[in-house]
Amino acid sequence: MRIVSGHLRGRNIATPSGRDTRPTSDQTRESIFNILQHATWAPELDGGIVADIFAGSGALGLEAVSRGAAFCLFVETEPKARASIRQNIEKMDLFGCTRLHRRDATKLKVAPGNLRGPFTHIFMDPPYYKGLWKPVLSRLKDQDLIAKDGVIILEIGKDVEDIVLPGFDILADKTWGAARVLFLSLG
């Protein structure tokens, strides 16, 4: 896997070994960022404050930083995935504009020095078919971690049909391979 575009374009992304994570493919990442670049409802990525939740290798957040985001918070609890994110941050020299957070995504909270929200772009790629995105969306909203014009990019399994999102609007709904990607805003 590589960074698709921006000042880090072509750099390899270290990924965790094993089958516990499922990195977003280069093609899907390119499609997501093309939508974000051209959609009238999407905030400007340049200078954005980004969160990559259930980050895995951190590919989505790294891509956002490469394309101009000012800061990215990576949220991941799995040790091999955190090690990959640390390795990527180190080899791409991104210490000043990133932070790796080990906290459970369902327990994110605002505290002094804890987070840099509200976030303009929130990437969420939880394990498919476990519904983990539901409490995280609620937490993000309750903690005021979503910028007023912010967008949430939620990747779920393509077979998920019942999507109930109280307080959120679906801006776009796309399917690539096994992934269904919803672009959301506060309702």
Per residue in 22-68, pLDDT (tens digit) is 667 778 889 999 999 999 999 999 999 999 999 999 999 999 999 99
Residue 14: inside a domain, yes or no? Answer: no
Residue 11: inside a domain, yes or no? Answer: no
Q: Report how many domains make up the chain.
A: 1
Residue 37: inside a domain, yes or no? Answer: yes
Residue 2: inside a domain, yes or no? Answer: no
pLDDT for the residue 28: 86
Residue 130: inside a domain, yes or no? Answer: yes
Grade residue 105 by pLDDT with cuts at 50, 70 and 90: confident
Mean pLDDT of 96-114: 80
| Tokens 């999507």 sit on residue | 163
| CATH number of the CATH domain containing 160 | 3.40.50.150
> Are 146 and 140 spatial neighbours (Cβ–Cβ below 8 Å)?
yes
Residue 5: inside a domain, yes or no? Answer: no
Residue 171: inside a domain, yes or no? Answer: yes
Tell if the pTM clears 0.85, that is, is over it: yes
Distance from C-alpha of 115 to C-alpha of 120, rounded to nearest angstrom: 13
| Strand 146-157 with 119-124, pairing | parallel
Q: Residue 117 is part of which domain span? A: 26-186
Mean pLDDT of 96-104: 89
Residue 101 vs residue 122, higher pLDDT: 122
Distance from C-alpha of 90 to C-alpha of 101, rounded to nearest angstrom: 15
